[in-house]
Amino acid sequence: MIDGNRKPTLAEDPKHGFSSDAPRNSGIILIGPHAHTGDRTVVITGLPRGGTTMAAQCLALMGVPMGVKLPPPRHNFEDKAFQALLQMEEPGPIDMPRLRDLIKSRNDAHPVWGFKLPMAINSLPVLDRELRNPRYILVFRDVVAVGSREVMSAGIEALFAMRRGLALQARMLKFAETSNSPCMLMSYEKALHAPATVVDQMASWCGLTPTEQQREQACSIVRADDPIYVSREDLTETQPWP
């Protein structure tokens, strides 16, 4: 269970708060301290085909180095270095010396940085111990939609994908309940209805102060069925790190 100091709170739409005449559900639940202004790391995870690319692109457009080039080519916005270490279907052993070296190199290069990887779900407790001031954005999506996307993009059997999605989301919830680190739980479906709200909430949650141009660019990413994202291609490119 979550302790009293980390009681979940609902993020309110600034124009349609819960006490307004037309309240709206933002689809965002916040657990833990809101903003952090020191050195920190942002991890975005969620179901494969579940909206994590959208969230990662938003942060990158608002200035957070995410290990992937901008503008993005046709790929899933995953950092190859973390993908090589953490891509696993179930929790399992990790090459800890390589992981620590990778984290140190990113810490040395940037005071604030992040990465997105759906299958990091299976390594969250390890990352929680190793990362510098981690903050998590956990993206949830309707498992029927995820199952359909897996059929379209990867040829995975739909019901298997749905069962897998439920199991992975259960792991995310368990982590959110047991971690001492801040967690933002985001509904992908709700995000599509209010791009400005979700972008502003992510910026505030991560302690960012984007320019108006960066904010507008991030808002433009929050849309359904991007033709590039729906493609069957799953290429990944890594941004060079100084």
Alpha-carbon span 207 to 36, nearest angstrom? 5
State the pLDDT at residue 228: 53
State the pLDDT at residue 75: 59
State the pLDDT at residue 240: 39
Residue the block writes with tokens 């559900």: 25
Q: Which residues contact 185 (CB under 8 A, 6 or more apart)?
A: 8, 28, 29, 30, 31, 138, 140, 172, 176
- Sheet of 25-31, strands arranged across: 9-12, 25-31, 183-187, 134-140, 40-46, 112-116
State the pLDDT at residue 74: 57
Total number of domains constituting the chain? 1
145 lies in some domain:
yes
1 lies in some domain:
no
What does the DSSP 8-state code read for residue 50?
S
Judged against a pLDDT cut of 90, whether residue 63 lies above it is answered with yes
- Each residue of 134-152: b (16+ CB within 10 Å) or e? bbbbbbbbebebbbebbee
15 lies in some domain:
no
- Tell if the pTM clears 0.85, that is, is over it: yes
196 lies in some domain:
yes
Judged against a pLDDT cut of 60, whether residue 234 lies above it is answered with no
Lowest mean pLDDT: which of 17-21, 60-64, 103-107, 179-183?
A: 17-21
11 lies in some domain:
no
CA atoms within 13 A on the CB side of 124: 31
Domain extent, residue 186, equals: 27-229
Q: What is the pLDDT of residues 178-229, one digit of tens each?
A: 999 999 999 999 999 999 999 999 999 999 999 999 999 999 999 886 655 5
State the pLDDT at residue 233: 45
Alpha-carbon span 106 to 169, nearest angstrom? 28
State the pLDDT at residue 25: 83
236 lies in some domain:
no
Give the CATH number, domain containing residue 60.
Answer: 3.40.50.300
From the DSSP assignment, how many helices (H) and strands (E) are in the chain? 10, 6
240 lies in some domain:
no
102 lies in some domain:
yes
